[in-house]
Structure 1
Amino acid sequence: MSAAADESDAALATRAAGGDDQAYAALMRRHKASLYSFVRRYIGDPEAALDVLQETFVAAWQAIRRYDGGRPFATWLRAIALNKCRDRGRRLAVRRLVFGATDLDSAEARRQADPQGDAEGELQSAQRFAALDRAIARLPDKLKVPLILTQLEGFSQQAAAEQLGVSVKTIETRIYRARRRLAGELGDLEI
C-alpha cells in the first residue's frame, strides 16, 4: 500500500498544490468512481460523462491552490463537476438552437440500444434504465442535483443540504418534486 493511500485528501491536496503530480494522481484515483457516477447520472450519457469527468479533473488541477483544506475535498470536487455539467448543458442548448436536433452520429443516437442480438428482457430493462437516465438528465438542476445526491449517491439529506447551501426542508421538497415529475414523465413505464 502506498503512502498516499494513508494520507488525507487535504494532505494530498496540499502536496498537489506544491506541484506533486503523484499526490494529485492519488486524489484522482480516490474520487474517480464516485465522481463519474455523479456526472453520469446528471448528464445521462456515459460517454459524455467521461469527457466531463476529465474536464473536472483538469479544472481541479488548475485550481488546486485555491482549495480550502478545511472543507471536504470531495465536496469541492463535486462542485467543480456540477459546474462542468452545467457548462456542457449550456453548450448543448446553444448547439441545438443553432443546428437543430441531434444527428444520427451524435453520442445520444449511438447510445440507443440495438435490439438485434439481445434477449428481449435485457433490451426492455436497458430501455427502462435509459428512459430513467434521460428523464433524470432533463430535470431542472434544482431538482436533479438533490435527487442524485440523496437517492443515487447515498448522501443524507443533511449532507446534500450542506453541499448545496440550502435547508434540509428545501432538499426534501425538491426530492419530492423531482419524483413527481419523473413519475409523470415516465408514466406506465415499469422501473
Structure 2
Amino acid sequence: MGAEQSIEVRAAGGDRAAFTALMTTTKADLYRFVRRYVGDEAEAHDVLQEAYASAWLAMRRYDPSRPFDVWLRSIALNKCRDWSRRRAVRRVVRGVMGLDAPEATAVGDEVPMPEARLDDQRRVEALQRALSDLPDALKAPLLLATLEGRSHAEIAAILRITPKAVETRIARARKRLAEGLARSPREGA
C-alpha cells in the first residue's frame, strides 16, 4: 500500500471527513434501496440515518479489503429489517393492519382523467402492498437485483448467502409478488 491511504482506510481510522465523503458518494443509491424496502419516504430517511449512524459506530471494525458499499448495504439491510419488525409490532399493538398504508393518507388532486389516475394509483398501491407482504428473505434480494441491478454474487455477499440461494429467492419473490397482485382487490371493478 502506498503512502496515501484510501478514503475507506482513513474513515476506519476515525477520520470524520473521510466518512462524510463516503456518505456523500453512497447516499443516493443507498436511499433508493431503503426507500423501496420500507415504502415510505420519511421512514426511509430515518432508516438511512440510522444506517449511517451505525456505520460510523462500527467503522473501526470495517475491513478495508472488503468493498465499502457491500459492508454499508449490509448495515442498511439490517436497519430495514429492524424497521420491519418495529412496524409489525406497531400493527399488532394498534390492532389494525392498514393505518400506515398509502391509501390512508392519500389526498386527491384535480386531474383531467380521474379514472386513469385512479387505476394507476391502485396499481401502484397494490404493488406496494404486495412488496410489503414479502418476507425479508425474499424482498431484499429482489430489490437489490431489480432496482439496483446488482449481480447474484454481489447480492450473495451482502446477504451472506450463496448465489444459488439468491437466484432461488428472487424467483420465489417474483412468484409471490405475482400471486399477491393477482389476489389484489379491484375496487370499483
Give TM-score scaled by structure 2 length. Answer: 0.83
2:28 aligns to what SS in structure 1? helix
Structure 1 Cα separation of the partners of residues 118 and 19 of structure 2 = 40
Answer yes or no: is 1:68 the counterpart of 2:63.
yes
Contact 2:103 2:125 in 1 (8 A): no
1:58 aligns with one of 47, 53, 57: 53
Residue 163 of structure 1 is matched in structure 2 by: 158
1:152 aligns with one of 142, 147, 151: 147
Contact 1:115 1:123 in 2 (8 A): no
**What is the CA-CA distance between 1:146 and the residue it aligns to?**
1.1
2:26 aligns with one of 18, 24, 31: 31
CA RMSD of aligned residues (A): 2.4
Q: Deviations over 1:119-159 (max 9, x none)?
A: 53344334322321232122111111111111111011222
1:187 aligns to what SS in structure 2? helix
Aligned positions, number: 179
Residue 80 of structure 2 is matched in structure 1 by: 85
2:6 aligns to what SS in structure 1? helix
Structure 2 Cα separation of the partners of residues 111 and 52 of structure 1 = 22
**What is the CA-CA distance between 1:185 and the residue it aligns to?**
0.8
Residue 127 of structure 2 is matched in structure 1 by: 132
Structure 1 Cα separation of the partners of residues 47 and 107 of structure 2 = 25
**What is the CA-CA distance between 1:112 and the residue it aligns to?**
4.3
Structure 2 Cα separation of the partners of residues 132 and 110 of structure 1 = 13
Residue 176 of structure 2 is matched in structure 1 by: 181
Identical aligned residues as a percent = 50
1:71 aligns to what SS in structure 2? coil
Answer yes or no: is 1:17 the counterpart of 2:2.
no
Residue 114 of structure 1 is matched in structure 2 by: 107
Contact 2:51 2:75 in 1 (8 A): yes
2:166 aligns to what SS in structure 1? helix
Structure 1 Cα separation of the partners of residues 105 and 180 of structure 2 = 19
Give TM-score scaled by structure 1 length. Answer: 0.82
Contact 2:55 2:72 in 1 (8 A): yes
Unaligned runs of 5+ in 1: 1-7
Residue 5 of structure 1 is matched in structure 2 by: none
- Misfit runs of 4+, over 4 Å: 109-112
Unaligned runs of 5+ in 2: 185-189
Relative to structure 1, the CA distance from residue 62 to residue 171 in structure 2 (aligned partners, 3 Å threshold; closer, same or farther) is same
